[in-house]
Structure 1
Amino acid sequence: MVKVKSLYKRFGKFEALKGIDLQLEKGAVTAVLGPNGSGKTTLIKSILGLVVPTSGEIYVKGESVRNNWNYRRFIGYMPQSAVFPENLTLKELINMLIDIRKEGYNPNIKEEFVEHFKLDRYMDKKLKTLSGGTKQKVSALITFMFDPEIYFLDEPTVGLDPISSSFLKDKIRQQVERDRLVVLTSHIMSEVEEVADYIVFLLEGQIHVKGKVKEIIESSGEKNLERAIAKLMEKGYDA
């Protein structure tokens, strides 16, 4: 569904991506992991069209994204820290986005998220007055209510209470059953182990580890993903 071929990105003399080859298939959750500066944000933003690669190709649903913005209608993006028009109310923001995007809007999904996140009480409040956790809930609502085929979720549970976090993780896993592609980043390895099917671990702009979560843990001989990743990196494991 998403294919990256020989992708390079330079910022001056700094090489953020060094020849990334990657294929992401629908019906799975893939976690893109790596330390700060590893290139994961650059990779995701390149796929989203927010960063222009130095060279290489990116395909979404078989079509090149070069000089093509139509593919974005298939994608829902949840940034780690969403920025909203501060003087709008939550209700105004939702109505504005529905009016702009239209395609894919699912009122049932919207109502489900509003109910579980208890967002009714904030509908008439200015966005600038909302807490960080509530803004994260709003970001999730906006991402899911347009029912995209592809999800990019950057640290999706940051700032959420345990009940809201569990609800969102359930929604992420449900997309697999619906044959969607979910790509997420997270620094919480227990969360990745819980929701992800595959891992792509970047280090210094290159893919250092990739494979199925269960296979990576089993091959390492460790009990959990965090220790497995550490051990595989020490051994120079390359799946």
Structure 2
Amino acid sequence: MITIENLYKSYGKLQVLRGVSVKLEEGKVISIIGPNGAGKTTMSKCILGMVLPDSGDIKINGESVLKKHLYRSQIGYMPQIGKYPENMKIRQVIEMVRDIRKKAAVIDEELIGLYGLQNMYDKRMGSLSGGTKQKVSAALAFLFDPQILILDEPTAGLDPISAEILKGKILKEKKKGKLVLITSHVMSEIEEVADEILCLVDGNVMFYETISDLKAQTQETRLSRAVAKIMNEGRVI
């Protein structure tokens, strides 16, 4: 579904992506991991069209999306920290986004219901806790039934029950054949929902493997230990 070809991006003298090439297939949950500054967010923003790479290409279903905009309607994005106008009510934010995407054929309000957001519609965004803002961000990411979901630390700030609701929703959408990309540092949560792990280090792909293969190659039963062993040895697989 997404093909990234020899992607480079730098900010001044800082080289953030160094020739990243990878194919991300539909019907999978893929977790993007790596140390801070590894290039995870920059790669995601390149896919979203929020950052233009210095060179290389990004293709969705075989067509380059660089400097294009319409493809974004296929993507649902949940930022790590959602920023909203503080004076707007939850209802107004959802209505505003729906108005922007009024051509959407399908509206998925499942998370709005599961999180009880309709009962808080008249609360202003500036008065919400971080966890409630995360619920709004999650609901908006899934709202238009996108074929690709990019979720940045999606469970950060969520209480355990809300986190389980979101993980259940992720797995449900995967069964529909969607591609879900998750950046996260929580290995135990990754293990619950992800099929594959893409690890970036210093702007390079260190490994891209299924969780089962990672465990088999390292002879570890826990994902966190498998990843730590590979990264401590500094080997590329």
Q: Which residue of 2 aligns with 1:36?
A: 36
Secondary structure of the corresponding residue to residue 42 of structure 2: helix
| Off by >4 Å, runs of 4+ in structure 1 | none
Give distance in 1, aligned partners of 2:68 and 2:144: 20
1:104-183 maps to which residues of 2 (within 5 A)? Answer: 104=104, 106-107=106-107, 109-110=108-109, 112-183=110-181
Is the CA contact (8 Å cut-off) linking 1:98 and 1:105 kept in structure 2?
no
Query: Following TM superposition, by how much is the alpha carbon of 1:52 offset from its aligned partner in structure 2, in angstroms?
Result: 1.1
Q: Which residue of 1 aligns with 2:201?
A: 203
Query: Following TM superposition, by how much is the alpha carbon of 1:151 offset from its aligned partner in structure 2, in angstroms?
Result: 0.2
Is the CA contact (8 Å cut-off) linking 1:173 and 1:195 kept in structure 2?
yes
Q: Which residue of 1 aligns with 2:3?
A: 3
Of all paired residues, the percent bearing the same amino acid is 46
Query: Following TM superposition, by how much is the alpha carbon of 1:236 offset from its aligned partner in structure 2, in angstroms?
Result: 3.3
Within the candidate set 191, 215, 229, 1:193 is matched to: 191
Secondary structure of the corresponding residue to residue 236 of structure 2: coil
Give distance in 2, aligned partners of 1:138 and 1:237: 40
Counterpart of 1:61 in structure 2: which amino acid? N
Superposed CA RMSD: 1.2
User: What does the per-residue CA deviation read over 1:159-182, in whole Å, with 9 as the maximum and x for residues that have no partner?
Assistant: 111111001001101111100000
1:80-95 maps to which residues of 2 (within 5 A)? Answer: 80-95=80-95
Secondary structure of the corresponding residue to residue 9 of structure 1: strand
User: What does the per-residue CA deviation read over 1:9-50, in whole Å, with 9 as the maximum and x for residues that have no partner?
Assistant: 111111101000011000000001001011111111111111
Secondary structure of the corresponding residue to residue 185 of structure 2: coil
Higher mean C-alpha deviation, range 57-66 or range 76-85: 57-66
Counterpart of 1:47 in structure 2: which amino acid? I
Counterpart of 2:46 in structure 1: which amino acid? S
Counterpart of 1:199 in structure 2: which amino acid? I
Query: Following TM superposition, by how much is the alpha carbon of 1:105 offset from its aligned partner in structure 2, in angstroms?
Result: 5.8
Q: TM-score, normalised by structure 1?
A: 0.96
Is the CA contact (8 Å cut-off) linking 1:152 and 1:184 kept in structure 2?
yes
Give distance in 2, aligned partners of 1:115 and 1:176: 20
| Residues 1:72 and 2:72 aligned together | yes
Q: Which runs of 5+ in 2 are unaligned?
A: none
Query: Following TM superposition, by how much is the alpha carbon of 1:121 offset from its aligned partner in structure 2, in angstroms?
Result: 2.5
Counterpart of 2:137 in structure 1: which amino acid? S
Give distance in 1, aligned partners of 2:82 and 2:4: 26
Give distance in 1, aligned partners of 2:2 and 2:113: 33
